[in-house]
Amino acid sequence: MPNGSDEEIWRELRRINDRLDRLEASRGSSWMKKLAAALLGFLVVGPLAVGLLAFALH
């Protein structure tokens, strides 16, 4: 009986570990998307907006 309950505990711990791995993986993806969006904003949208504003005020 102790072997059966030990195996059940190990299976449950593996399931919990898998869930945590999936949560960490999805969080990392979101962080990368935010970083890419920020870089795109600073490198493309920012200079474009400044150029259009300078053209409109001149």
> What are the boundaries of each domain within the chain?
1-58
Q: Is the whole-model pTM more than 0.85?
A: no
Exposed/middle/buried for residue 17 (C-beta within 10 Å: 0-12, 13-18, 19+): exposed
In the chain, the percentage of residues whose pLDDT exceeds 70 is 88
Planar angle of CA 33, 36, 41, nearest 5 degrees: 125
Alpha helices in 1-58 (DSSP H): 2-40, 46-57
**Who has greater pLDDT, 26 or 20?**
20
What is the average pLDDT value for the chain, to the nearest integer?
84
